[in-house]
Structure 1
Amino acid sequence: MNRGTQTPGRPDLDRLVPEYVKAFQPYTPSKPDDVLCRMIGCSRLYRLNNNENPLGPPAAARAVIGSYPPPRAAIYPSGDAYHLRCRLAERFGLHPDQFLVGNGANEAIAFVIKAFCQEGDNIVTADRTFAVYEWVAAFSGFTAHLVPLKDFAFDDEAMLARIDERTKILFVCNPNNPTGSYWTEQQLRRFLDRVAGRQIVVVDEAYGEFVEQSDFPDGMRLLGDYPNLVIFRTFSKMYGLAGLRIGYLAGDRAVVDVIRRTCVVYSVNGLAQEAAVAALSDEEHITATRELIRAAKASLLPVLDQLGLTYVNGEGNFLMVRLPFNDALAYRRLLSHGVMIRSMAGFRFPNWIRISLALPEAMQALAEALAAVINHES
């Protein structure tokens, strides 16, 4: 529009909006369950798209949530999640100031990028991993160098080769979402040794509590050896608090002090903080969830084999499955059976879907829906 004919009072978005924001495509979330059920005409919807814990929060966290006094909603929470940071420090043998709590791990990602990147800087991560690393960099005006996966896993050598003089942060999702691959402790240490402190290395362990392999690294134990290492964890997955939006990062005190300068005070609500403190005390919940995931895999893998489908069986509470037709079409047809899955085109895996592992009833519904959809296509 010619500026001379600009409507009075209407903002000139072409001038005001940065080019990198214009080029960014917004994320479109799915509609709420009640709306979807009305749309597709079903009474029950199985959400197998967001890797949520079907067991819900641990019993101790449920008690906190159920007894939360309504008057407390009028009071601002701890601005720095003091009690939760103290509890995390106790659990991992670190100092409370080594932790930073955010409104979900997504906010922690933004904190780190804003803390270290300035105009002209870049981050390095994989091309087919949790997309928020790339998204936050892009809508903040920074470049994301994306390295192809190798055998469905992060390629450490290719990531190192992609570093340049403006690289500030390397993001590694371990285990990776959506493939479930992971770096062993030996591989992670070798990578950190070669980075040698020149960049910040973020290891996202959102699904770490699901891994039972002995060679999987516990990032918290590596912080003393690598001051440039930052670990992400969340209460959304294993601890079933996705609806309360709470995650955290840990690192060297000097590094975390820098990141803290970019934080939004009071972004984590009081109920989330108290529920998270309680959740950390419930080890039985982790055991029960791992047993559920093992049972769900045991029931689903034979179904996939019988249907002749290729799949990636990695770590975490999900599986990735290749279909003989478009994943967007699969999403719609499975949804018509009351089953939601995650289409993988957005992860740059066209014709693949990601399935969250869940309770037997949901796995049975998925098996029947997959069979119906595959048979229809054939």
Structure 2
Amino acid sequence: MRGSATGARPDLEHLVPEYIKAFQPYIPSKPDDVLCKMLGCPRLYRLNNNENPLGPPPAAQKIIAGYPPPRAAIYPSGDAYHLRCRLADRFGLHPDQFLVGNGANEVISFVIKAFCQEGDNIVTADRTFAVYEWVALFSGFGAHLVPLRDFDFDDEALLERVDARTKILFVCNPNNPTGTYWSEQRLRRFLDRLAGRQIVVIDEAYAEFVEQADFPDGLQLLADYPNLVVFRTFSKMYGLAGLRIGYLAGSREVVDIIRRTCVVYSVNGLAQEAALAALADHDHIPATRQLVAEAKAGLTAELDGLGLSYVNGEGNFLMVKLPMNDALAYRRLMAHGVMIRSMTGFRFPNWIRISIAGPQAMSALVEALQKVLSNDR
């Protein structure tokens, strides 16, 4: 017989840590079919997640289209062995210097769990990719946030916020959402001043979009800085966001520590094979860069015509300041079938971030902006 406690409600007040009670969950947007039905529009242009409008490289598309259904019943490589070997060959490193995760979000968690314990903290910017802060906070650690300076990471202020319990510093290069970046000289100077006392994570999720000559290749700095960890992803340039696959690289000693926090088998087999194929494609990166450059040039000309201020840095996105509340702008643009990212959550109130896409999507955005602004003025 069941005991008298059957069906008793859990004592969440007692069970849930205080730092979880204070944390607000991230609520994703509804699927396109649901949103279109709600809005009464035939299609939705998603310009909110910085996806690649060209999709995956053709070789990866072939892998996806031909993936044999029986393979879905078989566990994938638990540590993405072949992909790590391919990455090692490509970048002149050892396979054991790489870890592959279920998107870059998972490898962020790997690093924080590997080095932080109760009372420790991380240091990063206050207006950057929020997951560094979120993972630290919902893991029970501190997050010291440093204001941006002219939309850029402030290296001096970052160093000033380091204390005896700081374990990791996160620098998004180029930064999401502002597109600003650190040159190699600046990054080396920053790493030299830390002198290996903390782990430094350089998030290069948008590195493949950057063509500036002084932009650093973090993977080539690993030999000089054993405390450096570099993040990269297949979600952005390589168009595999739906398959969720990213990776980190570092010294073998550091990666061996991080590996202890990894969840094996978290990256599915299709994602691993598609990523392998994507790396072999030599035309996809220049084609994407060309699309982004042309679309940005057209969009900024339209924004100038509308009298709007914007920040146009590196990456496949830009930020626009509106003469209205960004949440209101989000709802009004959605009514025209255009989804952007409202930036209050990034601590940029009244700004929106726009992902760069093809001509049809950009035209729909401009037309929707014109209507929204004319109604507001």
Quote how far apart the aligned CAs of 1:372 are: 0.6
Q: Are 1:364 and 2:355 an aligned pair?
A: no
Quote how far apart the aligned CAs of 1:7 are: 9.2
Structure-1 separation of matches of 2:331 and 2:320: 16
Q: Are 1:181 and 2:168 an aligned pair?
A: no
Question: In percent, how many aligned pairs have the same letter?
Answer: 80
What does 1:3-18 align with in structure 2 at a 5 Å threshold? 9-18=8-17
Quote how far apart the aligned CAs of 1:162 are: 0.4
Structure-1 separation of matches of 2:30 and 2:221: 41
What are the superposed Cα offsets for residues 250-284 of structure 1, whole Å, 9 maximum, x if unpaired? Answer: 00000000000000010000000000000001120
Q: Which residue is equivalent to 1:36?
A: 35
Q: Which residue is equivalent to 1:57?
A: 56
Structure-1 separation of matches of 2:276 and 2:101: 14
Q: Are 1:228 and 2:227 an aligned pair?
A: yes
Q: Which residue is equivalent to 1:324?
A: 323
Q: Which residue is equivalent to 1:96?
A: 95
Structure-2 separation of matches of 1:63 and 1:129: 35
Quote how far apart the aligned CAs of 1:285 are: 0.3
Structure-2 separation of matches of 1:68 and 1:224: 38
Structure-2 separation of matches of 1:361 and 1:26: 34
Structure-1 separation of matches of 2:346 and 2:291: 26
Q: Which residue is equivalent to 2:291?
A: 292
Q: Which residue is equivalent to 1:335?
A: 334
Quote how far apart the aligned CAs of 1:298 are: 1.1
SS at match of 1:240: coil
Structure-1 separation of matches of 2:211 and 2:300: 19
Structure-2 separation of matches of 1:88 and 1:172: 22
What are the superposed Cα offsets for residues 193-247 of structure 1, whole Å, 9 maximum, x if unpaired? Answer: 0010000000000000000000000001100000000000000000000000000
SS at match of 1:262: coil
Q: Which residue is equivalent to 2:310?
A: 311
Structure-1 separation of matches of 2:251 and 2:233: 18
**2:115 counterpart letter in structure 1:** F
Structure-2 separation of matches of 1:246 and 1:150: 32
Q: Which residue is equivalent to 1:345?
A: 344
Structure-1 separation of matches of 2:318 and 2:369: 14
Quote how far apart the aligned CAs of 1:10 are: 1.1
Q: Which residue is equivalent to 1:301?
A: 300
**2:97 counterpart letter in structure 1:** Q
Count of matched residue pairs? 373
Quote how far apart the aligned CAs of 1:8 are: 5.3
Structure-1 separation of matches of 2:66 and 2:53: 22
Q: Which residue is equivalent to 1:163?
A: 162
Q: State the superposition RMSD in angstroms.
A: 0.8
- Where in structure 2 are there 5+ consecutive unaligned residues? none
Q: Which residue is equivalent to 1:75?
A: 74
SS at match of 1:56: coil
Structure-2 separation of matches of 1:282 and 1:370: 36
- TM-score normalised over the length of structure 2: 0.98
Q: Are 1:205 and 2:217 an aligned pair?
A: no
**2:271 counterpart letter in structure 1:** A
Q: Which residue is equivalent to 1:113?
A: 112
SS at match of 1:124: strand
Quote how far apart the aligned CAs of 1:9 are: 1.9
Q: Are 1:247 and 2:246 an aligned pair?
A: yes
Q: Which residue is equivalent to 1:124?
A: 123
What are the superposed Cα offsets for residues 326-350 of structure 1, whole Å, 9 maximum, x if unpaired? Answer: 0000000000000000000000000
